[in-house]
């Protein structure tokens, strides 16, 4: 017995990449309406990237396209770097937005606006589904898994816009880069850590993202986490406007993203670069 194989247009895009191979890759399957959720999950497991996405026709009248997002282990309602990478791939493969300078993505988390300025894309930070203080037992687990003491922490908060992010602020970017997490202790927690650079550093902040429960021990560059962290930092008065973030340094990437704040909200942006294009057999 043979299994039917269909071919789909395919892109692999490097996101938040200031230079070649510096950011976080996402695999994008175009015209994926013929695939089941099981097939999507199986392919995402095979690519073994932090996320693989599937572009579909929208069901919402305001949307330009619909996106499904998978880690190697599970589907996500929203994720940032797959949002920008998929928008880049959609545009590059002939997608025509309904509005000049703006795209609207439909995903499980709802509608996400994406701005386009030349080759740069930025998404509007979605509302948090969970915020506020982190429960003491959860914090204790997070601190133990990071190998840090509570005295080293400047603040913590839930910054969850879908994936389940818990945010921790350390005293410096150097402290963030020194972390050597114990992923067995971290278990199912999704932990994001941020620390500031001194003036003249490569960016304003360094961020690291740990998601062992989704088969992504450390994510190179993370849009959703940075969107949640920005809402927290702005709300606490730690920052009073836009800033820049370097992420992926510990993995040899050095991805760069920008946080912009205006009357329309908080925008997370960066450069996307197509690295692979062709067709994939599924």
Domain boundaries, the chain: 9-125+269-281, 130-265
Does the domain at 130-265 match CATH 3.40.50.2000? Answer given as no
Task: Give the CA distances from residue 259 to residues 69, 119, 121, 186, 202, in Å, rounded to whole numbers and listed in that order.
Answer: 23, 17, 12, 28, 15
Task: Considering only CA atoms, give the Rg of the chain.
Answer: 18
What per-residue confidence (pLDDT) applies to 3?
A: 55
Poorest-confidence range of 2-11, 24-33, 51-60, 104-113?
Answer: 2-11
The pLDDT of 140-167, averaged and rounded, is: 97
What per-residue confidence (pLDDT) applies to 20?
A: 83
Q: In whole angstroms, what is the distance from residue 255 CA to residue 35 CA?
A: 32
Q: pTM of the entire structure?
A: 0.93
Q: How much of the chain, in percent, has pLDDT values that exceed 70? A: 99
Angle CA 275–277–282, to nearest 5: 125
Q: In whole angstroms, what is the distance from residue 47 CA to residue 26 CA?
A: 9
Closest CA to 84 of 224, 260, 261, 246: 224
Residue 119 pLDDT > 80, yes or no?
Answer: no
CA 275, chain centre distance (Å): 18
Closest CA to 249 of 216, 215, 212, 201: 201
Whether 9-125+269-281 and 130-265 share one fold: the answer is yes
Q: Is 51 a catalytic residue?
A: yes
Position 4 confidence tier, pLDDT thresholds 50, 70, 90: low
Position 21 confidence tier, pLDDT thresholds 50, 70, 90: confident
Q: Are strands 165-170 and 190-196 parallel, antiparallel or unpaired?
A: parallel
Counting every residue, how long is the chain? 282
Residue 235 pLDDT > 60, yes or no?
Answer: yes
Residue 202 pLDDT > 90, yes or no?
Answer: yes
DSSP annotation of 5 reads -
Catalytic residue among 38, 51, 92, 199: 51
What per-residue confidence (pLDDT) applies to 1?
A: 47
- Fold of the domain spanning 9-125+269-281: Diaminopimelate Epimerase; Chain A, domain 1 (3.10.310)
What per-residue confidence (pLDDT) applies to 120?
A: 86
The pLDDT of 105-120, averaged and rounded, is: 91
Helix (H) or strand (E) holding 25: strand 24-29
Q: Count CB-CB contacts under 10 A for residue 95.
A: 16
The pLDDT of 198-202, averaged and rounded, is: 96
Backbone angles phi, psi at 230, to 5 degrees: -60, -45
Sign of CA dihedral 56, 32, 67, 253: negative
Backbone angles phi, psi at 98, to 5 degrees: -75, -25
Closest CA to 158 of 187, 129, 130: 130
Q: In whole angstroms, what is the distance from residue 13 CA to residue 239 CA?
A: 31
């Amino acid at each position: 017995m043979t299994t039917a194989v269909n071919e789909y247009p395919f892109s692999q895009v490097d996101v938040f990449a200031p230079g070649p191979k510096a950011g976080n890759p996402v695999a994008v399957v175009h015209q994926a309406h013929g695939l089941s959720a099981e097939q999507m999950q199986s392919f995402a497991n095979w690519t073994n990237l932090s996320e693989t996405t599937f572009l579909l026709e929208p069901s919402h009248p305001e949307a330009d396209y619909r996106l499904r997002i998978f880690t190697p282990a599970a589907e996500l309602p929203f994720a940032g770097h797959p949002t920008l990478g998929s928008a880049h791939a959609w545009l590059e493969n002939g997608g025509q937005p309904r509005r000049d300078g703006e795209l609207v993505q439909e995903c499980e988390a709802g509608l996400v606006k994406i701005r386009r300025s030349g080759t740069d894309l930025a998404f509007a930070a979605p509302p948090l589904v969970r915020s506020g203080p982190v429960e003491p037992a959860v914090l204790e687990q997070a601190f133990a898994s990071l190998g840090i003491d509570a005295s080293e922490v400047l603040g913590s908060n839930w910054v969850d816009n879908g994936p389940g992010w818990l945010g921790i602020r350390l005293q410096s970017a150097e402290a963030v880069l020194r972390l050597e997490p114990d992923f067995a202790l971290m278990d199912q927690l999704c932990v994001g850590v941020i620390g500031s650079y001194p003036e003249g550093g490569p960016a304003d902040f360094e961020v690291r993202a740990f998601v062992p429960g989704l088969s992504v021990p450390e994510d190179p560059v993370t849009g959703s986490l940075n969107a949640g962290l920005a809402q927290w930092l702005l709300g606490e008065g730690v920052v009073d406007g836009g800033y820049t973030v370097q992420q992926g340094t510990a993995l040899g990437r050095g991805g760069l993203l920008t946080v912009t704040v205006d009357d329309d909200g908080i925008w997370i942006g960066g450069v996307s670069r197509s690295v692979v294009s062709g067709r994939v057999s599924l």
